[in-house]
Structures are given as structure tokens and as C-alpha cells.
């Protein structure tokens, strides 16, 4: 993966941090946003 990015962009770092770091940060952010959307979309259970 890093080799492909290095060939395409010529560098495997953005703002001094590895591309893998940024990819993992984006994945975590998407998971958190989806979890919040599901949580806030649930209706409370009536007893």
C-alpha cells in the first residue's frame, strides 16, 4: 500500500506523519460518526 502511494504521490507522508496514520484516523472517525448516527437514530423502548 505504501509503495503504491509513494509511486503516485512521490511521498508517503503528509504533515510529517505516515499515510497509514491518516488512513487509520479517517477510518476511526467514520466508525465514530456511524455509531453516533445509529445511537441517536434509535427510538427509546417503551415498557
Q: Is the model's pLDDT at 30 over the cut of 90? A: yes
Average pLDDT score, the chain: 79
Residues 21, 2 contacting (CB under 8 angstroms): no
| pLDDT of the residue at 6 | 62
Task: Say whether pLDDT at 24 is over 80.
Answer: yes
pLDDT on residue 13: 67
Region 6-34: what's the mean pLDDT? 79
Q: Which pLDDT score is estimated for 35?
A: 95
Question: 16: phi > 0 → left, psi -120 to 50 → alpha, else beta; which?
Answer: left
Amino acid at each position: 500500500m505504501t509503495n503504491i502511494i509513494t509511486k503516485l504521490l512521490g511521498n508517503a507522508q503528509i504533515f510529517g506523519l505516515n499515510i497509514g496514520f491518516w488512513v487509520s484516523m479517517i477510518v476511526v472517525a467514520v466508525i465514530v460518526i456511524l455509531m453516533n448516527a445509529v445511537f441517536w437514530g434509535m427510538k427509546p423502548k417503551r415498557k
